[in-house]
């Protein structure tokens, strides 16, 4: 395990990489003894410094919940990160590509909670009862650690590679739509790049919400009413560059468009 001093140093290193939009060597290459709990501790120090600086927590992201993403990264365990208010965009947004490192987009559903949700025994049924509505979402990945050879420890430390999200306009209660069969057709500059359905996320996208409630309970936390939960991608990530226009069609749940500038 890492010492508190090592954890604080790595958290500051990642904060500097975030400020400069740069990439640092893998943590596990330099500290092979680092554990998953160390990585969440690094993320926690980074989070608390951002909160102290005035940023506001609006939710959490879950990552690596689908076979598509696990195969794309070589990592088979889900993870989570935090999301701040200044990272949320509406469909149609222009997003500066220079704000991120290793920029990619993923197709997801987001859930907004009507009630708090806590572990350690949260179930899918509990999660569905606590959700106010689902909304289509794109996640913008922002990786500050070199991608080659990274492990779950590297990814968690880097706030689960979260950069931003783009939310759609159509909201649906869990009893209004079969969330397993919400589709996503992701196009870049008019060409279809990825397709999938939300059942690719743990069989049901809200299963990730239950997993998250149980996971944060292990860290002495719970999910609060009003939080936005990104449930995880059901497609592989698509690389984007300056000038790219992204469009995603979610059928009856509408579309999302954003432009990278």
* pLDDT given at position 74: 65
| Backbone CA torsion sign across 240, 232, 166, 194 | positive
In this prediction, residue 71 has a pLDDT band, given cuts at 50, 70 and 90, of low
Burial class, 242, CB count within 10 angstroms (exposed 0-12 / middle 13-18 / buried 19+): exposed
Calculate the average pLDDT of the chain.
94
In this prediction, residue 78 has a pLDDT band, given cuts at 50, 70 and 90, of confident
Residues 205-245 pLDDT 10s: 999 999 999 999 999 999 999 999 999 999 999 999 999 99
Average of per-residue pLDDT across 115-135:
97
Average of per-residue pLDDT across 26-44:
95
Residues 204-215 pLDDT 10s: 999 999 999 999
Specify the CATH superfamily of domain 4-107+136-199+231-260.
Fumarylacetoacetase-like, C-terminal domain (3.90.850.10)
* pLDDT given at position 67: 66
Instruction: Give CA–CA dist 102/151, Å, rounded.
Output: 16
Q: What percent of the chain has pLDDT over 70?
A: 96
In this prediction, residue 75 has a pLDDT band, given cuts at 50, 70 and 90, of low
Instruction: Give CA–CA dist 139/120, Å, rounded.
Output: 27
Q: How far apart are the first and last CA of the chain?
A: 41
CA angle 77, 83, 84 (to 5 degrees): 165
Instruction: Give CA–CA dist 215/78, Å, rounded.
Output: 10
Residue 52 has pLDDT above 90, yes or no: yes
Tokens at 43, concatenated: 């993320």
Burial class, 42, CB count within 10 angstroms (exposed 0-12 / middle 13-18 / buried 19+): buried
Closest CA to 259 of 163, 206, 184, 190: 190
Query: Of the given ranges (56-60, 75-79, 93-97, 108-112), which has the lowest mean pLDDT?
Result: 75-79
In this prediction, residue 66 has a pLDDT band, given cuts at 50, 70 and 90, of low
In this prediction, residue 72 has a pLDDT band, given cuts at 50, 70 and 90, of low
* pLDDT given at position 179: 97
The H-or-E segment that residue 191 falls in is strand 191-197
Phi, psi of 111 (to 5 degrees): -125, 140
* Domain boundaries along the sequence of the chain: 4-107+136-199+231-260
In this prediction, residue 70 has a pLDDT band, given cuts at 50, 70 and 90, of low
Average of per-residue pLDDT across 51-67:
89
Average of per-residue pLDDT across 160-176:
97
Residues 82-105 pLDDT 10s: 999 999 999 999 999 999 999 999
Residue 63 has pLDDT above 90, yes or no: no
């Amino acid at each position: 395990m890492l010492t508190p001093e090592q954890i604080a140093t790595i958290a500051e290193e990642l904060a500097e990489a975030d400020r400069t939009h740069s990439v640092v060597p893998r943590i596990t290459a330099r500290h092979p003894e680092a554990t998953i709990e160390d990585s969440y501790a690094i993320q926690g120090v980074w989070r608390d410094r951002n909160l102290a600086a005035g940023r506001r927590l609006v939710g959490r992201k879950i990552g690596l919940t689908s076979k598509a993403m696990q195969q794309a990264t070589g990592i088979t365990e889900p993870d989570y990160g935090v999301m701040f208010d200044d990272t949320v965009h509406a469909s149609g947004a222009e997003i500066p590509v220079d704000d991120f490192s290793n920029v990619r987009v993923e197709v997801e559903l987001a859930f907004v909670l009507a009630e708090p949700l806590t572990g350690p025994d949260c179930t899918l049924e509990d999660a569905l009862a606590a959700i106010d509505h689902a909304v289509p979402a794109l996640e913008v990945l922002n990786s500050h650690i070199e991608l080659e050879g990274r492990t779950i420890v590297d990814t968690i430390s880097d706030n689960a590679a979260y950069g931003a999200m783009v939310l759609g306009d159509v909201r649906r209660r869990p009893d209004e739509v079969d969330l397993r069969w919400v589709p996503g057709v992701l196009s870049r500059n008019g060409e279809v790049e990825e397709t999938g359905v939300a059942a690719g996320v743990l069989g049901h996208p809200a299963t990730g919400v239950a997993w998250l409630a149980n996971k944060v309970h292990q860290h002495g936390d719970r999910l609060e009413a009003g939080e936005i939960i990104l449930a995880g991608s059901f497609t592989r990530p698509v690389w984007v560059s300056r000038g790219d226009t992204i469009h995603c069609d979610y059928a009856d749940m509408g579309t999302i468009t954003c432009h990278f500038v």
